[in-house]
Amino acid sequence: MSVIAISRGSLRAATKLAEGLSSKLQSAVISREQVLEAAERYGIGETGLELRHIMAQHPPGFWENYADARKHYLACFKAALFDFVLEGPCIYHGNLAHILLSDVPFVLRVRVNAPMENRLEAMMAELGVSRHDAVRRIEAIDKERKRWTEFLYDVDVMNPVQFDVVLNLSRMTIQDGVEMVASAVNKDQFRRTGESLKAVRDVRLATVAETLLMRHPDTYGLDLGVTANSAKGSLAVAGRFPAGDAKVIESQIRTALSGFREIEHVETRIEIG
């Protein structure tokens, strides 16, 4: 079995779907919290963005100056998530699941939409709050989620063309969704192959290299393109800058990557002007 990415319109519905699929398919369920914890080894704590509620502490314009921190955060999170993917079949659920795993050829991208009434009933039962309070809480959650996703990706992350399966829980049960997704993920296009696994290893290797470049003071924030060949243990790093010394920048890149034991060869191509 491959990888299932569940993008949630409702946290509770996505969690129940993931749990149902885990039971049926015997696959591990990976949460955002688990990935964040694993991403500490890549330096995600250094970005200052590991806690989503910080979005509410500053006006939206404040974060426009933090493009480099956003890039660093995403590289760390993605590297950790790909580590889980390479361990074996898994189910990841989160707001950006389908985008974070878009480089995985064998991922099945699922969107879960739950009616507002269902969400209200679940929250009122779980927290013992009034309907009015439940509405306010859900609106606040949705607003924060929207700001966070727009900050990380300047795209419409809810566009249905980005998903392979969209589940409308106003017309089906969670168990119906489990059966539908389980059937879809067993199709040939979602199976792991030697070629598709190499593609994932290549992306993961390049992403880990990006985290190292972002952690080094001389290369932090440089606009660099990184590709990798995991079979050869090689990296290619390229960039173009209006001014500077190409040899100095190339030396800084090699220094930032010098401790990367999974890589045997680094090729740099820096152009000035």
**Domain shared by 91 and 210, yes or no:** no
Is 218 in the same domain as 87? Answer: no
- For residue range 218-241, what is the model confidence (pLDDT) as tens digits? 999 999 999 999 999 999 999 999
C-alpha 63/C-alpha 54 separation (Å) is 10
Q: Which of 141, 124, 143, 152 is nearest to 66 (CA)?
A: 152
Looking at residue 119, what is its pLDDT? 67
Confidence of residue 55 (pLDDT cuts 50, 70, 90): very low
Residue 213 buriedness (CB in 10 A; 0-12 / 13-18 / 19+):
buried
Task: Looking at mean pLDDT, say which of 63-72, 140-149, 150-159, 172-181 comes out highest.
Answer: 172-181
Same domain, 105 and 36: yes
Of 190, 206, 234, the residue at which a domain comes to its end is 190
**Dihedral, CA atoms, 193, 197, 200, 202, nearest 10 degrees?**
-130
Look at residue 267 and tell me whether its pLDDT is greater than 60: yes
CA atoms in the 13 A half-sphere facing the CB of 270: 21
| Same domain? 128 vs 232 | no
- 172 and 37 within one domain: yes
pLDDT at residue 19 in the model: 95
Range of the domain at 214: 194-272
pLDDT band at 146 (very low <50, low <70, confident <90, very high): low
- pLDDT tens digits, one per residue of 74-106: 899 999 999 999 999 999 998 778 888 989 999
Domain stop point among 166, 190, 214: 190
Distance CA 109, CA 95 (A): 12
Whether 63 has a pLDDT exceeding 60, the answer reads no
Q: Is the pLDDT of residue 163 over 60?
A: yes
Tell me, yes or no, whether 166 and 227 share the same domain: no
pLDDT digits (tens, 9 = 90+) for 180-231: 999 999 999 999 999 999 999 999 999 999 999 999 999 999 999 999 999 9
Domain check: are 66 and 101 in the same one?
A: yes
The total domain count for the chain is: 2
Distance, CA of 71 to CA of 176 (rounded, Å):
38
Q: Considering 190, 205, 225, which residue would you say is the last residue of a domain?
A: 190
Instruction: State the Cα–Cα distance between residues 187 and 108, nearest whole angstrom.
Output: 10
Query: Does residue 88 sit in the same domain as residue 10?
Result: yes
Q: Domain check: are 158 and 34 in the same one?
A: yes
- Which of 110-119, 132-141, 188-197 is modeled with the greatest confidence? 188-197
Contact 225, 75 (CB under 8 A): no
pLDDT of residue 57: 52
CATH number at residue 139: 3.40.50.300
Tokens encoding 35: 């990935």
Cut 0.75: pTM above it: yes
- Co-location of 182 and 75 in the same domain: yes
**Hey, which of 55-64, 114-123, 168-177, 200-209 has the most confident mean pLDDT?**
200-209
The helix (run of H) or strand (run of E) holding residue 97 is: helix 97-100
